[in-house]
């Protein structure tokens, strides 16, 4: 029997065309995008138009809705799922899908250039994603000629069709975290040299259930941030250290008052591979599941 794949659309550049004012917004549905494809392997394609958003606007609740939709399609007999998604938050949704549907034939793709751009890359990415779904192999990203796993995924370029890499080669942990993350608040706090703890403390005051630091270098900050981490830890709010540097494994080796070594001693957990966006999703999933005590194991 010819396999059935469900195409879930969520918007993004792949579904966008330029408006008269020069802006681009998602305006094409799944059927219009399928019409761009040429010859494909034997497959039946079902379209599920879920939303039409720029992925920069996606909340954790939106990402949960995408994951729920993929799960419903798989439970309903689909041989696999292809998700069309914006690139700004693709790595986050990919990680949530891999945590909630490990091993499932789900492939995300999108585009760097709009549908009406002379270098439109959406059709080629879609064709590659369909082939990847048919091959099986778990939650992955098909983009720019690459097929990448979800764990450690990072967008490394804003102007190239080959836009994604892995932050570091790593084996994803064997974990399933199915609890919905739609009601969890995890904040990202960007660190600059000499930063004080104003934004970290503001997140605590606003009710954040977890905080991810987009720290410097291998996971470093300042003495003021170290003290803020200690306050969060005392309040029972988990803090994860990631880095604004896109590539490489992190190591909590620096002291000096606010280095990664000091932040860990103050109660933070070092994310050795996942960059801030994915670290936020994993932390939210752990909080939702009541398994924050596994943070050291899973982020390590």
Distance CA 39, CA 32 (A): 16
Q: Count CB neighbours of 253 within 10 A.
A: 11
| 169 alpha carbon, distance to own chain's centre | 17
- Enter the DSSP assignment of 291: -
- Enter the DSSP assignment of 216: B
Q: What is the CA radius of gyration of the chain?
A: 20
Place of tokens 């803020």: 228
Q: Quick one: tokens of 162?
A: 């080959």
Catalytic residue among 6, 9, 13, 87: 13
Distance CA 29, CA 16 (A): 10
- Enter the DSSP assignment of 150: S
Q: Quick one: tokens of 214?
A: 């987009």
Q: What is the dihedral of CA 57, 84, 61, 288, to 10 degrees?
A: -130
| 177 alpha carbon, distance to own chain's centre | 15
Q: Count CB neighbours of 62 within 10 A.
A: 19
Give the sign of the dihedral formed by CA 39, CA 43, CA 46, CA 51. negative
Active site annotation includes 176: no
Phi, psi of 143, rounded to the nearest 5 degrees: -160, 130
Catalytic residues: 13
């Amino acid at each position: 029997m010819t396999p059935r794949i469900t195409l879930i659309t969520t918007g993004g550049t792949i579904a966008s065309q330029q408006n008269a004012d020069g802006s681009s917004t998602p305006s094409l549905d799944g059927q219009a995008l399928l019409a761009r494809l040429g010859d494909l392997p034997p497959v039946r394609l079902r379209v599920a138009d879920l939303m039409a958003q720029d992925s920069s606007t996606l909340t954790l609740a939106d990402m949960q809705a995408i994951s729920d939709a993929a799960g419903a399609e798989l439970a309903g007999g689909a041989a696999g799922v292809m998700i069309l998604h914006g690139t700004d938050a693709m790595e986050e949704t990919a990680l949530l899908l891999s945590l909630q549907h490990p091993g499932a034939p789900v492939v995300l793709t999108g585009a760097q250039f709009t549908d009406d751009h002379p270098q439109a890359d959406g059709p080629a990415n879609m064709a590659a994603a369909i082939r990847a779904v048919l091959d099986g192999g778990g939650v992955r990203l098909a983009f720019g000629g690459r097929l990448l796993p979800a764990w450690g995924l990072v967008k490394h370029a804003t102007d190239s069709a080959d836009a994604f890499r892995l932050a570091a080669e790593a084996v994803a942990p064997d974990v399933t975290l199915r609890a919905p993350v739609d009601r969890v608040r995890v904040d990202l706090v960007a660190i600059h040299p000499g930063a004080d703890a104003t934004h970290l403390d503001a997140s605590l005051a606003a009710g954040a259930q977890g905080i991810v630091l987009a720290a410097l270098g291998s996971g470093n900050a300042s003495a003021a941030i170290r003290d803020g981490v200690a306050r969060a830890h005392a309040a029972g709010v988990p803090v994860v250290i990631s880095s604004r540097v896109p590539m490489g494994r992190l190591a909590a080796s620096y002291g000096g008052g606010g280095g990664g070594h000091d932040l860990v001693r103050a109660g933070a957990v070092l994310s050795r591979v996942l960059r801030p966006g994915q670290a936020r999703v994993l932390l939210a999933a752990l909080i939702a599941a009541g398994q924050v005590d596994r943070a050291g194991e899973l982020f390590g």
